[in-house]
């Protein structure tokens, strides 16, 4: 059993300047700018992950582990992460696999959005328009079954239309 999903993410992060959203316990990679809504050892700035105080096309990568399931409007949040990501930049998302977790009777009261592999793929690839270059589900993690989605922002990114 793998103790920590952060090692898997750390190994997959590209070179460059990135932001780790939801990094309260520890940032995934040394040199990554850490943000969280609560203070902690990996946090450089306290702010909400869906309202980032950075300019357009600022980061080479955005990583968000165990964040999206806590956000009531994931589409709005994904658009915000895409906004601060440079063209051809990488978006790395890790979320609990609801398909497996719920079947095993695992539920978390603080989760307001649930993702199956198909839902996450559709959201990132079809709706956001990012190219997925690695996608896997893992069941050998201490935190339970997880979905790992690694994608790239297209160089000609067009912000998707948000629901009214």
Number of domains within the chain: 1
For 5-35, what is each residue's pLDDT tens digit? 666 666 777 888 999 998 876 666 667 899 9
Q: Are the C-beta atoms of residues 122 and 115 closer than 8 Å to each other?
A: no
* Average pLDDT score, the chain: 84
Q: Look at residue 139 in the predicted model and tell me its pLDDT.
A: 75
DSSP conformation class of 2: B
In a domain, 164, yes or no: no
The pLDDT-based confidence of 2 (bands split at 50, 70, 90) is very low
Please say if the pLDDT value at position 83 is more than 70. yes
Please say if the pLDDT value at position 152 is more than 70. yes
In a domain, 75, yes or no: yes
Here the CATH number for the domain that contains residue 46 is: 3.40.50.150
- Host domain of residue 92: 5-152
In a domain, 160, yes or no: no
Helix (H) / strand (E) containing 63:
strand 59-65
In a domain, 22, yes or no: yes
Indicate the pTM of the whole model.
0.87
Q: Kindly tell me the sign of the dihedral angle through the C-alpha atoms of 157, 149, 72, 20.
A: negative
In a domain, 161, yes or no: no
Please say if the pLDDT value at position 1 is more than 50. no
């Amino acid at each position: 059993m793998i103790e920590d999903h952060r090692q898997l993410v750390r190994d997959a992060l590209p070179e460059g300047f990135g932001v780790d959203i939801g990094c309260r316990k520890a940032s995934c990679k040394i040199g990554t700018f850490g943000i969280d809504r609560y203070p902690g050892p990996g946090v450089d700035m306290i702010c909400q992950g869906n309202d980032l105080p950075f300019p357009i096309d600022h980061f080479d990568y955005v990583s968000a582990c165990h964040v999206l399931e806590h956000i009531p409007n994931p589409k709005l949040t994904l658009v915000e992460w895409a906004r601060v990501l440079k063209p051809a930049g990488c978006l790395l998302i890790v979320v609990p696999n609801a398909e497996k977790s719920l079947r095993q009777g695992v539920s978390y009261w603080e989760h307001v959005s649930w993702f199956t592999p198909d839902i996450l793929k559709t959201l990132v690839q079809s709706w956001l328009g990012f190219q997925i270059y690695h996608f896997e589900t893992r069941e050998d993690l201490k935190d339970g079954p997880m979905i790992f989605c690694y994608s790239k922002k297209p160089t000609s990114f067009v912000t998707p239309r948000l629901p009214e």
